[in-house]
Amino acid sequence: MANHKSSEKRIRQERTKNEANKYYAKTMRNALKKIRTTSSKEEAGAMLPKVNSMLDKLAKKNIIHTNKASNLKSSVKKHVDSLK
C-alpha cells in the first residue's frame, strides 16, 4: 500500500487513465474487426479514413506504439484493396 499522499494520488490517476486507455483500445479493435469483416469494397473504403485517423490519434497519445499503428494501417489497406 502507498505510504505517501503523492503516491496515492498517482495510483488514482493511473487507474483512471488505464480505464480510458482500455476503452480507446477496445474501440479500435472493434473498428478493425468491423472493417475486416466487411465484404463491400465501397463500405470498407468509406470506413478506411476513419480507422486510419483513429490509429494515428491513438499512436499520438501513446496508447499504441507508432509502428503498431503503421502495421495495422498497412494490413487494413491491403485488405480493402483485395476486396472486389
pTM beyond 0.75, yes or no: yes
Express as a percent the part of the chain with pLDDT over 90: 95
Other CB atoms within 10 Å distance of the CB of residue 56: 14
CA distance 36 to 66: 21
The 10s digit of each residue's pLDDT in 19-39 is 999 999 999 999 999 999 999
Other CB atoms within 10 Å distance of the CB of residue 32: 18
> Which fold does the domain 5-82 belong to in CATH?
Methane Monooxygenase Hydroxylase; Chain G, domain 1 (1.20.58)
Residue 1 has what pLDDT? 74
- The domain segmentation of the chain, as residue ranges, is 5-82
Instruction: Read off the pLDDT of each residue in 11-15 and give the average, rounded to a whole number.
Output: 96
